[in-house]
Structure 1
Amino acid sequence: MSKPISDKPIVKALVELCHLHGVEQVVISPGSRNAPLIISFAGYEKFECLSIVDERSAAYFALGLARETKKPVAIVCTSGTAGLNYAPALAEAYYQQVPLVVITADRPKEWINQADGQAIEQPGIFNNFIRHQCTLPLSGGHKDDEWYMNRILNEAFQKCTGTIPGPIHINVPMREPLYGKTVYSDSPARKIEVLTGDSQLSADAISLLTNELMRYERVMVLTGALHHDPALKQALEALAAKGVVVLTETLSNLNSERFIQNMDRVVSTISEDEQLFFSPDILITLDVPVLSKMVKKILRQRKPHIHWHFTNQTYVTDTYQSLTRMIKGNAPVILQQVADQMPPREKRFHDTWNKRTLQSTERHHQYFEKLAWSDLKMFNLLSRQPLPAMQIHLGNSTPVRYAQLFSWSDSHQWYANRGTSGIDGCVSTAAGAAHAAQLPVLLIVGDLSFLYDSNGLWHKYLPPNFRVMVVNNGGGGIFRFIPGPAETEELEQFFEANHSHDCRGIADTFGLDYTACHNEEEFTAGLENFFAPSNKPALMEVFTPNVESGKLLKKYFKFLRNEL
């Protein structure tokens, strides 16, 4: 290391260990107490250092970046309330199992609670949403300080990228002066290696699972939000070929004719009297969240006899109140082993689901023959376009639910912040993914979510193939069709947060091309230019009616059930 960096030895060691444990990108927010960290990360020359002012946006940007690269990303901020802004993204990363290295600069301990500036209790501020936390020793002047620091940092990084990856918090108290630099001789930090392998079950355990499957006729695999995983798809196709029903969502990134796709489109047609015929004896789930409230409701009412849940977590997840077996290990490998040993079974359960899928698909297409302009119509038109291969990121609330109802090209990859399902970081997360993605990135987001996170565009890292589609129906459209809010007099002001803002000024401020669409004709005509190659990112604002959109979605589900 020949370039001058901070003269604080603790910071040098921290930066080196970040590099040794796979960090390649560092998202930095401005400050003074974090000056030694800024100087050292920027001076080390082995990192891509990105500057994002808004800490909340910076953390979500890092989440999208880490999820895309599948490598830990560091985020660095100054002391005080700056770090508190990381909390929403850390909660999301924790439940998505995305590795983030959170580094907060801090004041010396003796100045905490002494009416000094930006001096708050920082250790433990993220306790509920991190895999590990540590505070580095202040001085770094004794060899035992350096040994202790090396040990606790190696432990932290192992928790960040281990079997269950996730965010870690490294708190770094520092005394002034903060801007001193020096050139160190070559004495690299020591990395402690941990060797792990894919966990498989024994032959006896596989036989136990296979025998349990054979005792029951109706077996279902339920999948939620997943990364594209060819090994998992192969294992699930093998199970489906032998009569197992596999339910997928758009976010599952599992496309196959053997699977029941567009889950809500099918499940919404199942009456209470029919639930028994569609409910499994054995339910198999993975350690990822499922979006569909409809399927959750049925499975909680008609509980399976057996529920296997694949997880490497230490806590018990019993979403359907019927858990009988937690299975730790590599889920695709274990499911493939089970599929290989399992003989073909009766396909009556599988055929029941397939028949209902065909019926609901036919009704789905009939509904759109004369549908008026609305949120639902917009998604239908978009799903029928010959879109290029791309990543599509969905904002929470309505976009992620509308997308579930349509069939899309196999060339798309789907993402959403479904770890905690908040609306607060959709733009920033998509922007972070776009910075590293090989494919173009499209974000489809509601107006409230976009306005809430418009700072996600406040940086210079948006690639020219980044596209944002804002569905502006004048408020929180989801409250028009979920039970409860629509019947209250507080709907428009407090639930829907009705407004008359548009996004043109935001697009102009951050340098995005802007297009507005107010009806089907404008939308269809504008799509070609919107997706055309450009030297700038682009934003399309699609204005839809709020009251009518909610009514048409309710009618859609009634039509699928043949009630209209």
Structure 2
Amino acid sequence: MNPATALATVLVDELVRCGLTDVVLAPGSRSAPLALALCAEERIRLHVRIDERSAAYLALGLAKTSGRPVAVVCTSGSAVANLHPAVIEAGEARVPLILLTADRPPELRDTGANQTIDQVKLFGSTVRWYGETGVPENRPGQVAYWRSLACRVWRRSLAPDPGPVHLNVPFREPLVPDGDTTWCEPLDGAAGHPRVRGGAPSPHTAVRVPPGMRGVLVIGEGATGVPRYVAAAEAAGWPVLSEPHGCGRYGDHAVSTYHHLLGVPEFADRAQPDVVVVLGRPGLSRPLLSWLARAAEHIVVDPDLARWPDPTRTATQVAQSVEIPAVPGPADWLDHWRSADLAARTAVDRVLDRADEITEPRLARDLVELLPGDSLLTVGPSMPIRDLDQVMRPRRGPRILANRGASGIDGVVSTAVGAALAHDGPAYALLGDLTLLHDQNGLIIGPNEPRPDLCLVVVNNDGGGIFSLLPQAALTGPFERVFGTPHGVDLAAVAAATRTPYTLLTSLTELPKAILGEGIRIVEAQTDRTRNAEIHTLIRDAATRAVRDLMSI
């Protein structure tokens, strides 16, 4: 057996023993040993994509949904660099990815050899760990080294700080099996077990909140232990402020209009808590962050105590866990939040329901309410997730994801496809037109690949809608060209190019029927950027008036 085939066979086998179930492969020549080993491995689900960037985001979606490391494999050269955007997102969102990059052997580096670049530590500090196998050789001791290295790759992607890891794998030719199956030592390992077993967990660091406090639970991106903390907050009489993808916006204590409430200075002043417990990484609402910065006690929960989120730089404690005693604080504390939330919610819904026009906030609100309880919704990280944050009513059931680690619009289609493939149930996505166009390659799924049950609801306002809500909108001269960026693309033609079923939504009454179906499909909703900015102003003003009227009673 040639060394390249031996290394690839052992590496794949050991990663499977560790628990690897999904691998995404982008085709190439230098990665042939890994590709062939993966193709022959029946214990994994292999996904093949022609574009490395799309492949990496597909792996990201699979890993975010499953909570398990997913490997992405590519060939040498610029192919590796195309993984970088997804690696950045995985690093910020703490998603375990294993990057297996094939490389030329050292003697071909810095020689002008074809498809050869410097891949050593290419991703810098973005990855949690970097390693290189070295060029495989037919000599005793190699198998133990390879298996130990694979276990290290697996463990470092998970603990102590989950995220992407990079193993560079240089191969010399021959790159394909030569028919010889002999090797200087046995290639197999201990049946069913990784070479390196897991050790004991680290000591548990907990903080106990004093009983009877006026507390608030805030939940953002990447939060863990959400049901337990929501139940504890309810027992303590705390309001729960959860971003949609924090997956804690449910139950009687959920305050769904916190963005509008905290934008009213009078309310924000009266709603100052004794303590705020923060799960995950909130970052959608500026009023929330401004209010959070004023909290007297601001406890951040980070199970790994490694990369705790604190964008306001006001955290007073960081803990692996927090104990919230089931002793309610002042009786009027929760009532104050609830009554204001009801007033703002009624005002917001009244604006949205005023006419049967397709507006972006109403589309977001109505879509999430239509979804089955066992569904998954991937939301674009720019305007769609903000719309959902500002108008979504509390509800149980659907799991909501968004690439808000680095908040880029790139790779969202591929992420949604990967998430759908890892989800046991129907999947949906809500994204903007630029987000779709940025990752059209995510729609390219070969005939032999697993296909997701995924409905992509695309808001098409012919450009970058978020800029119409920012100060740049006042720059009427250059605005359209350098911020609005109209594209004029026919999304029906984009869908047709990949034979993706397509529906144009002409009325919100058609939405329940439009999202029905199987397989990957697109529903387009055409909106206007200027009108969208007007709707957002109407929503904000209506909510503000309602809260101020309530406080004046």
TM-score, normalization by structure 2: 0.90
Per-residue CA deviation, residues 99-127 of structure 1 (Å, 9 max, x unaligned), is: 21110010111221211111111011112
Q: Distance in 1 between matches of 2:270 and 2:470?
A: 27
- Offset of residue 156 of structure 1: 2.1
Runs of 4+ in 1 over 6 A off after TM superposition: none
- Offset of residue 507 of structure 1: 1.2
- Counterpart in the other structure of 1:142: 139
Per-residue CA deviation, residues 433-486 of structure 1 (Å, 9 max, x unaligned), is: 112321111111100000011111111346463111110001010111123344
Q: Is the contact made by 2:472 and 2:483 (CA closer than 8 Å) also made in structure 1? A: no
User: Structure 1 residues 386, 392: closer, same or farther in 2, change over 3 A?
Assistant: closer
Residues 93-132 of structure 1 aligned to structure 2 (within 5 Å): 93-132=90-129
Verify: 1:247 aligned to 2:235, yes or no.
no
Q: Distance in 2 between matches of 1:14 and 1:395?
A: 35
Work out which of the residue numbers 281, 295, 311 in structure 2 matches 1:319: 311
Counterpart of 2:284, as a letter, is L
Counterpart of 1:232, as a letter, is V
User: Structure 1 residues 385, 8: closer, same or farther in 2, change over 3 A?
Assistant: closer
Per-residue CA deviation, residues 258-306 of structure 1 (Å, 9 max, x unaligned), is: 32332445435522x4432112232211233442222012223xx2222
Q: Which runs of 5+ in 1 are unaligned?
A: none
Q: Distance in 1 between matches of 2:272 and 2:290?
A: 11
- Offset of residue 145 of structure 1: 4.4
- Counterpart in the other structure of 2:543: 560
- Counterpart in the other structure of 2:434: 448
Residues 161-240 of structure 1 aligned to structure 2 (within 5 Å): 161-181=158-178, 182-183=180-181, 187-189=187-189, 191-197=195-201, 200-201=204-205, 209-211=208-210, 217-226=213-222, 232-240=226-234
Counterpart of 2:377, as a letter, is I
What secondary structure, in the 3-state scheme, does the structure 1 residue paired with 2:231 have?
Answer: helix
User: Quick one: percent identity of the two aligned structures?
Assistant: 27
* Aligned residue pairs, count: 535
What secondary structure, in the 3-state scheme, does the structure 1 residue paired with 2:384 have?
Answer: helix
Q: Which runs of 5+ in 2 are unaligned?
A: 549-553
Work out which of the residue numbers 297, 300, 316 in structure 2 matches 1:306: 297
Work out which of the residue numbers 41, 47, 52 in structure 1 matches 2:49: 52
Q: Is the contact made by 1:435 and 1:463 (CA closer than 8 Å) also made in structure 2? A: yes
- Counterpart in the other structure of 2:340: 356
What secondary structure, in the 3-state scheme, does the structure 2 residue paired with 1:133 have?
Answer: strand
- Offset of residue 502 of structure 1: 2.0
Counterpart of 2:188, as a letter, is P
Q: Distance in 2 between matches of 1:545 and 1:82?
A: 38
- Counterpart in the other structure of 2:329: 345
Work out which of the residue numbers 274, 281, 287 in structure 2 matches 1:281: 274
Verify: 1:428 aligned to 2:414, yes or no.
yes
**Further displaced range: 310-319 or 351-360:** 310-319
Q: Distance in 1 between matches of 2:525 and 2:480?
A: 20
- Offset of residue 226 of structure 1: 4.5
User: Structure 1 residues 184, 53: closer, same or farther in 2, change over 3 A?
Assistant: farther
Counterpart of 1:453, as a letter, is D
Per-residue CA deviation, residues 6-36 of structure 1 (Å, 9 max, x unaligned), is: 7533222211221111112221111101111
Residues 528-547 of structure 1 aligned to structure 2 (within 5 Å): 528-534=512-518, 536-547=519-530
Q: Distance in 2 between matches of 1:503 and 1:225?
A: 30
Q: Is the contact made by 2:305 and 2:318 (CA closer than 8 Å) also made in structure 1? A: no
Verify: 1:419 aligned to 2:408, yes or no.
no
Counterpart of 2:434, as a letter, is L
Q: Distance in 2 between matches of 1:82 and 1:142?
A: 31
Residues 448-527 of structure 1 aligned to structure 2 (within 5 Å): 448-460=434-446, 461=449, 463=451, 465-517=453-505, 519-520=506-507, 523-525=508-510, 527=511
Q: What is the root-mean-square deviation of aligned Cα atoms in Å? A: 2.6
- Offset of residue 409 of structure 1: 4.5
- Counterpart in the other structure of 2:383: 398
- Counterpart in the other structure of 2:551: none
Q: Distance in 2 between matches of 1:42 and 1:393?
A: 29
- Offset of residue 152 of structure 1: 3.3
- Counterpart in the other structure of 2:19: 22
- Offset of residue 350 of structure 1: 2.2
Counterpart of 1:426, as a letter, is V
Q: Is the contact made by 1:462 and 1:537 (CA closer than 8 Å) also made in structure 2? A: no
**Further displaced range: 290-299 or 437-446:** 290-299
**Further displaced range: 50-59 or 234-243:** 234-243
- Offset of residue 386 of structure 1: 6.8
Per-residue CA deviation, residues 135-182 of structure 1 (Å, 9 max, x unaligned), is: 112132333444444433322221112343221111011112212344
Counterpart of 1:484, as a letter, is Q
User: Structure 1 residues 299, 266: closer, same or farther in 2, change over 3 A?
Assistant: same
Q: Is the contact made by 2:160 and 2:306 (CA closer than 8 Å) also made in structure 1? A: no
Verify: 1:550 aligned to 2:533, yes or no.
yes
Q: Distance in 2 between matches of 1:171 and 1:440?
A: 36
Per-residue CA deviation, residues 298-323 of structure 1 (Å, 9 max, x unaligned), is: 223xx222221111142454322222
- Counterpart in the other structure of 2:261: 267
Q: Distance in 2 between matches of 1:196 and 1:510?
A: 49
Counterpart of 1:121, as a letter, is D
**Further displaced range: 307-316 or 468-477:** 307-316
Work out which of the residue numbers 267, 287, 292 in structure 2 matches 1:294: 287
What secondary structure, in the 3-state scheme, does the structure 1 residue paired with 2:153 have?
Answer: helix
User: Structure 1 residues 35, 221: closer, same or farther in 2, change over 3 A?
Assistant: same
Per-residue CA deviation, residues 228-272 of structure 1 (Å, 9 max, x unaligned), is: x7x63243333333232321122121243332332445435522x
Work out which of the residue numbers 361, 364, 386 in structure 2 matches 1:376: 361
What secondary structure, in the 3-state scheme, does the structure 2 residue paired with 1:104 have?
Answer: strand
Q: Is the contact made by 1:289 and 1:419 (CA closer than 8 Å) also made in structure 2? A: no
What secondary structure, in the 3-state scheme, does the structure 1 residue paired with 2:237 have?
Answer: coil
What secondary structure, in the 3-state scheme, does the structure 1 residue paired with 2:209 have?
Answer: helix
Q: Is the contact made by 1:267 and 1:295 (CA closer than 8 Å) also made in structure 2? A: no
Per-residue CA deviation, residues 497-523 of structure 1 (Å, 9 max, x unaligned), is: 112112112211222211113x43xx4
What secondary structure, in the 3-state scheme, does the structure 2 residue paired with 1:155 have?
Answer: helix
Work out which of the residue numbers 58, 63, 66 in structure 1 matches 2:63: 66
User: Structure 1 residues 470, 360: closer, same or farther in 2, change over 3 A?
Assistant: same
Q: Is the contact made by 1:269 and 1:560 (CA closer than 8 Å) also made in structure 2? A: no
What secondary structure, in the 3-state scheme, does the structure 2 residue paired with 1:90 have?
Answer: helix
Counterpart of 1:247, as a letter, is L
Q: Distance in 2 between matches of 1:199 and 1:232?
A: 21
